[in-house]
Amino acid sequence: MLLIPAIDLKDGHCVRLKQGEMDKATVFSDAPAKMARHWIEQGARRLHLVDLNGAFVGKPVNGKAIRAITEEVGDDIPVQLGGGIRDLDTIERYLDSGISYVIIGTAAVKHPGLLRDACGAFPGHIIVGLDARDGKVAVDGWSKVTGHDAVDLAKKFEDYGVEAVIYTDIGRDGMLSGVNIEATVRLARALRISVIASGGVANMADIEALCAIEDEGVVAAITGRAIYEGTLDFAAAQARADELATGDTDVG
């Protein structure tokens, strides 16, 4: 189980939201690049970036902070990025700048042709982000809930050739209330591609619960507020996930 620290960017700062609401942002750092280096030093093997402003306005906004992070990270680990990505030119610029995986969310739902074209133009580099409330997909920075069923859309996008699906339970994101294991497993069982869990990770018990469903196709989990507020020690959590993956649970 790969644990992926989240660096959510709002107005150039590293923040966390509660249930995706921009007016409920907690600022954790005004130096996102230093935060990226911190997580690498803690053992992160991938980073998850979100341009929150971009997600709401539909175009990249936090470009300066993103460039600072990619320059800091270099070739050390892969970086995945979502938020405000609505066209192929933006995807190409991000990939050329050092981003390894581009996450398409709202645009995939509203303009599936873009997702299909992106998978064709940049195979192996496109991840789809499905953010859902009660199983229904939300768009536009989670501000609008559609009538689309998350599982049905994921199966459609799988056929386009996406690398993986990030599944976020909006109701749990930033709330430290635990991962929606049932919904995540239901999605993973319906797909051949990998699922990355997001939303609600709070403590080591959540990590162990996620490791228990890794064989279902849930291969990674994004964690944010828990590692910033200290309810989860990232280095210890990744070490525990590695132990469970190898069967070496003797930590004495």
> Residue 30: CB partners within 8 Å, gap ≥ 6?
12, 13, 14
Catalytic residue among 8, 51, 169, 206: 8
Catalytic residue among 87, 89, 117, 131: 131
Active-site annotation holds for 250: no
Active-site annotation holds for 248: no
Written as six digits, the tokens of 165 are 């699906």
With tokens 């192929």, the residue in question is: 88
What is the per-residue DSSP string for the chain?
-EEEEEEEEETTEEEEEETTEEEEEEEEES-HHHHHHHHHHTT-S-EEEEEHHHHHHTS---HHHHHHHHHHHTTSS-EEEESS--SHHHHHHHHHTT-SEEEE-HHHHH-HHHHHHHHHHSTT-EEEEEEEETTEEEETTTTEEEEEEHHHHHHHHHHHT-SEEEEEEGGGTTTTS---HHHHHHHHHT-SSEEEEES---SHHHHHHHHTTGGGTEEEEEE-HHHHHTSS-HHHHHHHHHHHHHT-----
Neighbours of 195 (CB within 10 A): 25
- Alpha-carbon distance of 201 to 104, in angstroms, equals 22
Catalytic site positions? 8, 131
